[in-house]
Amino acid sequence: MIVLTTIYVIAAVLLLFGAAIFVHEWGHYFVARKCGMKVEEFAIGFGKILWKHEKDGILYTVRMIPAGGFVKLPQMLTSEAIEGKNEEEETDPLPEISPWAKIAVAVAGPIMNIVFAFILAGIIYFVGLPESITPPIVGLLDKESEEYSLGIREGDIITKIDDKPIPSWEEATKLTALSVTNQFFVTFHRQSDSGTEEFTRKLTAKPISEKLTIKRLQLPPKFRPIAGKILENGAAAKADLKQKDEIISLGGIPVSGQSELIAELQKNGTNKTEIIVLRQGKKLAFPITPKMINDRVMIGIQFAPVPTTYMVRHPGPTPTENIAGVASLMWRTLYALFHKSETGVGVKDLSGPVGILAMIGAMVNIDYRLALNFLVLLNVNLAILNMLPIPVLDGGHTVMGFIEGLFRRKIPTKILEWTTTCFAIALITLMVYVTFHDVFERRDVFVDMFKNEAEVQEQSDPGE
């Protein structure tokens, strides 16, 4: 079963990611052919050729590195900076093409990504979209914390941040991470014997850690801690704890959150005690002897992500609503990126091909509709990023076409080659940089995403 699931996820990831690249390159290819331009190659991926087929003088290839693709057009400066020039030089020079044809070819790729995004969003509208409804319930707070002194208590539910409705922890995390401020007015609901109380407090978001500078509210979620990675030679490993064990109590004290478990560990110290876990529906008790590491009492586990509950929205968001939401999210991300000092969001927090493939895989593993929705985001991102006015990108070709059209003079080939090569090297360097962080610094994050226990609940729209 695990093997079949793995094959399904890998096949789905390659198909979905490849589809986004294919439609982009097909846009260039289609318009180039309509403009009468010579097409040497239509490629998906970069690097060594894995598969090829030649027809009507055009080489169709699938290459080793699934990080993009290209259409090789000798009448335009496109992939030569990355793939090199064709070894077979043309004996007869090709006819010049108009600047407006160059612009049409350049913008065709991003336009096709937007069209594809709308098609996918239309499918999502009819099949529905799972939306996170994991309630943002606050767990146990440290009594010395600023949040506790402001009157926030375990069990309080976040309903708004800066007057924006917050349906889940995911939304709370996203909003605080991308904001240029670290001060937020957070509204809570508290249920008591006398009824529901609503109150608002001004809270400060802080960086997750020295390495992960993205900020978040200092409010722990109220969920029983679930064992993720079990560290070798740790107390948990010696006690025979396993991944996915749900920790119920420590030393006879029930725990309902990670912060509670950590607090009880510090109280217990290194004394031998009993830990009770829920494993595959059965309660199991194990003797455990915590260890003191860097002045902190630890048992040697990394917590698994909080289980996420999704409710399928029927019908899904309209295509316009979906695309607008994606464009807004991207704008907020870019804005946060260019205000790193306030947000903590840097280039290293972006994801390259490895991270994108990992996220698609994680979503396919939960529900195909989440993967389709992520593909909407990916296509809009490809369209917007490719239209940035940078040589080697479609936006750069568009700008150069306008310059040639307005001044009625062709930009010297040497200048085009020099600028394209320099920016191609810069682009490859950036891709390697973000991929390095994906592989070596966020690997555990992606693994946790893939292993995240999620529940998808179907529910029809009441208005149907």
What digits encode the pLDDT tens for the residues 267-291? Answer: 899 999 999 998 888 889 999 999 9
Would 325 be classed as within a structural domain?
no
Count of alpha carbons within 13 angstroms of residue 253, beta-carbon side: 13
Domain end position, chosen among 283, 303, 323: 303
What mean pLDDT do residues 295-314 have? 85
Would 183 be classed as within a structural domain?
yes
The whole-number pLDDT of residue 366 equals: 86
Would 381 be classed as within a structural domain?
yes
| 160 and 118 together in one domain | no
pLDDT reading at 462 higher than 80:
no
**Domain limits for position 211:** 146-217
pLDDT reading at 29 higher than 60:
yes
**How many distinct structural domains can be found in the chain?**
3
| 25 and 59 together in one domain | yes
β-pairing, 291-293 vs 296-298, is: antiparallel
**Distance from CA of residue 108 to its chain's centroid?**
26
What mean pLDDT do residues 419-447 have? 76
| 36 and 65 together in one domain | yes
Which residues 6+ apart lie within 8 Å of 176 measured at CB?
161, 184, 205, 215, 216, 217
The whole-number pLDDT of residue 307 equals: 74
| 171 and 258 together in one domain | no
pLDDT reading at 224 higher than 60:
yes
The whole-number pLDDT of residue 434 equals: 81
Does the reported pTM lie above 0.85? no
* Nearest Cα to Cα of residue 73 among 380, 407, 397, 384: 397
At 59-98, the pLDDT tens digits run 999 998 877 788 998 877 654 444 455 555 445 677 778 8
| 281 and 234 together in one domain | yes
Domain end position, chosen among 252, 276, 303: 303
- Identify the three-state secondary structure at position 42: strand
Contact 220, 259 (CB under 8 A): yes
Would 296 be classed as within a structural domain?
yes
| Continuous segment of H or E residues that includes residue 214 | none
| 39 and 117 together in one domain | yes
Lowest mean pLDDT among 21-25, 56-60, 117-121, 169-173: 169-173
Q: What mean pLDDT value characterizes the chain?
A: 84
Domain end position, chosen among 172, 199, 217: 217
The whole-number pLDDT of residue 393 equals: 87
pLDDT reading at 26 higher than 90:
yes
pLDDT reading at 154 higher than 70:
yes
- As given in the structure block, the two tokens for residue 128 are 């529905």
d(CA 279, CA 244): 7
The whole-number pLDDT of residue 464 equals: 45
| 180 and 241 together in one domain | no
| 53 and 100 together in one domain | yes
d(CA 400, CA 391): 8
Domain of residue 281, CATH code: 2.30.42.10
Which is more confidently placed, 440 or 95? 95
* Nearest Cα to Cα of residue 349 among 139, 195, 204, 209: 209
pLDDT band at residue 446 using 50, 70 and 90 as cut-offs? low
The whole-number pLDDT of residue 89 equals: 47
Would 110 be classed as within a structural domain?
yes
* Nearest Cα to Cα of residue 267 among 137, 143, 149: 143
Would 463 be classed as within a structural domain?
no
| 190 and 96 together in one domain | no
| 92 and 18 together in one domain | yes
At 308-344, the pLDDT tens digits run 888 898 898 999 999 998 888 888 888 888 777 777 7
| 15 and 73 together in one domain | yes
The whole-number pLDDT of residue 1 equals: 58
pLDDT reading at 170 higher than 80:
yes
Would 207 be classed as within a structural domain?
yes
| 237 and 200 together in one domain | no
Would 141 be classed as within a structural domain?
no
Using CA atoms in the order 191, 192, 197, 202, what is the torsion angle rounded to 10 degrees?
Answer: -70
